[in-house]
Amino acid sequence: MLTKLSDSIGMLKYLVELDVSFTSIVELPNSIVNLKSLKVLKIGGSYMRKLPDAIGMMEKLEEIYGEDCRMLEVIPIDIMRLPFLRILKLTGTCVENVPKLPHSWVATGSKVIDLSYCRMLKQIPELSTFLSLEKLILKGCEMLTKISESIGMLKYLVELDVSFTSIVELPNSIVNLKSLKVLKIGGSCMQKLPDAIGMMEKLEEIYGEDCRMLEVIPRDIMRLPFLRILKLSGTCDMNVPKLPYSWVATGLKVIDLSYCRMLKEIPELSAFLSLEKLILKGCEMLTKLSESIGMLKYLVELDVSFTSIVELPNSIVNLKSLKVLKICGSCMQKLPDAIGMMEKLEEIYGEDCRMLEVIPSDIMRLPFLRILKLTGTCDMNVPKLPHSWVATRSKVIDLSYCRMLKEIPELSTFLSLEKLILKGCEMLTKLSESIGMLKYLVELGCVIHKHCGVAK
């Protein structure tokens, strides 16, 4: 219930940090500007309506944290006089009370400006005075439609976040950001990336999830030598990104194109020799993968869940580093005959693969297989399980709702098994005596129906 501070606070000449976050204080006393040693001011979540008019007198102030100050109406123009201001965070202002930002600030030492979720913010100040800025966070500023060309002058900017804004296009000067490593545009109205994006030579991560208006990824993106993460998931059905035919992106670690529902093909993969994760989940129109996938010797995870892929290319067995394979809800009819060659494969997720007909006998050769989930196969297309597996490390086998499954393989080879899930296997009438050998089994999910003459 603290509503005010005494004017005597101005006498604390050695005060370095003042935190009145989540109080009912509406305004700081005028004497606050006498705090010549103050470096950190925290007002987040308070009822603060304004900052002191003469705030520039607090000459050592470096950090202002005003997250969720929903009543904050005014940031005084005198803030430009703070020579050491490094961090300004004013996020989540009230929709009807967006801070009135000074038109121009001289804040050459500022490192971070965070105005995220100032939902009514329509423009940001001239950026040319923030020459030391390293992070500019504008996430969730829904009324923001453009950024000034002056952004290109921020030669030390490392991260730019315009996610969930109404920005349609980044200014051409953006390509002058030679230090930029992280670009976040997810959920924005962005229609294209800069044509000369390859000039942003240090760019490592692009996050464009749910950019439903994104139509074009420029061919110049192939020139980004350090690009590690590319996430462009959930594009609009009619606005699938036009991917360059071939990229030279040897450093790329992650490609996530999940839920690009109209994506019919992916680019040649042979250029992505460092790729560790390829996520294509929910690309409903995707019917095949290129044989070049077999060249991705560092690939650890492949997710083709909820695609129209019927069969994986034969070269898939050359993925010697692959640990996780996800094919859930896809049109997959079979797993590779030589799957045992994928010697590091640990987890297979095939829930609701209703077309899956065959699990090859070669699966017994996977020495590190820990999790096998093949649930909900079609009534008439139950997987043909190998009679015996040598899979001593397997921890979880989940065959729930394989409704036509009549028998399970010999269990004596699964000595490390912890979970055996057979729920909903309506045709299964018995378990092998060998189940008693599973000394680490923690959970057994098995409902034997009454019509079998055995109790549940």
Provide the residue ranges of all domains of the chain, joining segments of one domain with +: 1-144, 165-244, 254-327, 333-456
Residue-wise burial string across 390-413, b where 16 or more C-beta atoms lie within 10 A, e elsewhere: ebeebbbbbbbbbbebeebbebeb
CATH no., domain 165-244: 3.80.10.10
Q: Is the pLDDT of residue 411 over 80?
A: no
Q: Return the HEC string of the chain.
A: CCCCCCHHHHHCCCCCEEECCCCCCCCCCHHHHHCCCCCEEECCCCCCCECCCCHHHCCCCCEEECCCCCCCCECCHHHHHCCCCCEEECCCCCCCCCCECCCCCCCCCCCEEECCCCCCCCCCCCCCCCCCCCEEECCCCCCCCCCCHHHHHCCCCCEEECCCCCCCCCCHHHHHCCCCCEEECCCCCCCECCCCHHHCCCCCEEECCCCCCCCECCHHHHHCCCCCEEECCCCCCCCCCECCCCCCCCCCCEEECCCCCCCCCCCCCCCCCCCCEEECCCCCCCCCCCHHHHHCCCCCEEECCCCCCCCCCHHHHHCCCCCEEECCCCCCCECCCCHHHCCCCCEEECCCCCCCCECCHHHHHCCCCCEEECCCCCCCCCCECCCCCCCCCCCEEECCCCCCCCCCCCCCCCCCCCEEECCCCCCCCCCCHHHHHCCCCCEEECCCCHHHCCCC
pLDDT score at 456: 35
Predicted local confidence at residue 367, as pLDDT: 84
Work out the average pLDDT over 15-30.
Answer: 94
Residue 451, pLDDT above cutoff 50 = no
Spatial distance between the Cα atoms of 307 and 290, rounded to a whole number of angstroms: 14
Pull the structure tokens for residue 175.
């390509």
Does the pTM exceed 0.85? no
Compare 377 and 189 and report the one with higher pLDDT: 189
At the topology level of CATH, where does 1-144 sit?
Answer: 3.80.10
Instruction: Examine domains 1-144 and 254-327 and report if their fold is the same.
Output: yes
- Whole-angstrom Cα distance, residue 107 to residue 80? 6
CATH class of 254-327: alpha beta
Q: pLDDT by residue (tens digit) across 138-184?
A: 999 998 999 989 999 999 999 999 999 999 999 999 999 999 999 99
- Residue 31: band (very low, low, confident or very high) from pLDDT cuts 50, 70, 90: very high
Residue 455's pLDDT is what? 32
pLDDT of residue 434: 84
Looking at the chain, the whole-number percentage of residues with pLDDT higher than 70 is: 87
Looking at the predicted structure, is the pLDDT value of residue 99 above 70? no
pLDDT > 60? residue 94: no
Assess whether pLDDT exceeds 80 at residue 239: no
**Which whole number is the average pLDDT over 279-295?**
93
Q: What is the pLDDT of residue 95?
A: 35
